[in-house]
Amino acid sequence: MKFVKYESKKDFLNENLEILLKEEAKNELMLGIVLEHNDEKVNKWFLGRIENDNEVKIIFLADDDKQGLLYYCPTGCISIEEIEFLTDNIIDLNINLNQIFGDKKCSSIIAESYSKKTQKTIVENSMVYTLALKKLKQEHFLEENEKLIKLNSENADMGKMSQIVKDIHTDISGVEACSDEEALRIANIYFKKGLFILTDINEKNIFCHAVTVRKQINGCTIGAVISPKEFRGKGYGKKCIYALSKKLLEDGYSYIALHVLSTNEAAKSVYEKVGFEFVEETERFVFNK
């Protein structure tokens, strides 16, 4: 077996981009975060791959933001020996992982191997579906009094956006609302990435919003698809996803990707009605720090 460690974003992409593009929707997270960040930042990450019998078995990275290992298995199958080889090299290089994220078939084995060798405890795990859309399935037209618009810090009501971010934070995490400063910080991240809202014709109400969280070579990933509580259960999420997906396809993207928790069957059903199809099930493991 051969362990390859890359010293730069350029070297990593030169050797692995063609492989990653063969299943681009599966690799939207890895491609998206590498392409999004500048060379100087990515060059500080842990970038590498493992080869065995003249085959690329694992391509991986660990970023410095979340200290998470993100990986892809081009052959769809890796052995216990290859996993042990991976975790041994991570430990030898003093890479401290807080989480592992990847294909469900391998994540638990990698996490257990790393946990056993470092004495770190697995404190959380969750399973996520990756879905992708190439063609719209059902039409979900907007009413005459509805429209989808892209917001920025100049045309947005920052007070309203701040409150929505607070509500979402509380709703998702189940904890107290974040501070005004944190809410504005998150809102500005949304603006930078691309924040779209489904609103009424006079732009007084936000029925649903979605963010273009990552862009790849041929596709775009959307996230943060949430309606304020008073507008839930009225079909606005489906309309927002449909309208935004239609726009992105018309803009030239060949596919749209998104993630949904495997336990959220209701959201998965909504996305499938629009045209999203199952790509893979991934599993995330979080360790104690």
* Residues 129 and 272 sit within 8 Å (Cβ to Cβ): no
Q: List, in order of start, the domains of the chain with CATH numbers.
A: 2-127 (3.40.630), 146-253 (3.40.630.30)
pTM assigned to the model: 0.88
List of the chain residues with pLDDT < 50? none
Q: What's the Cα-to-Cα distance from 285 to each of 110, 121, 238, 261, rounded to whole Å?
A: 10, 10, 30, 14
The pLDDT of residue 79: 92
CA triplet 203, 208, 210: central angle to 5 degrees? 110
Q: Are 279 and 26 in contact, with CB atoms under 8 Å apart? A: yes
Helices (H), 174-254: 180-193, 236-250
pLDDT of residue 191: 84
Please give the pLDDT value at position 226. Answer: 84
pLDDT of 65: 64
Per DSSP, which regions of 137-252 are E strands? 146-151, 195-200, 206-215, 219-226
Q: Say if residues 110 and 71 touch (Cβ distance below 8 Å).
A: yes
Provide the CB-side half-sphere exposure for 41 (13 A, CA). 9
User: What is the rounded distance in angstroms from the CA atom of residue 57 to the CA atom of residue 79?
Assistant: 9
Give, to the nearest 10 degrees, the angle between helix 80-92 and helix 104-118.
50
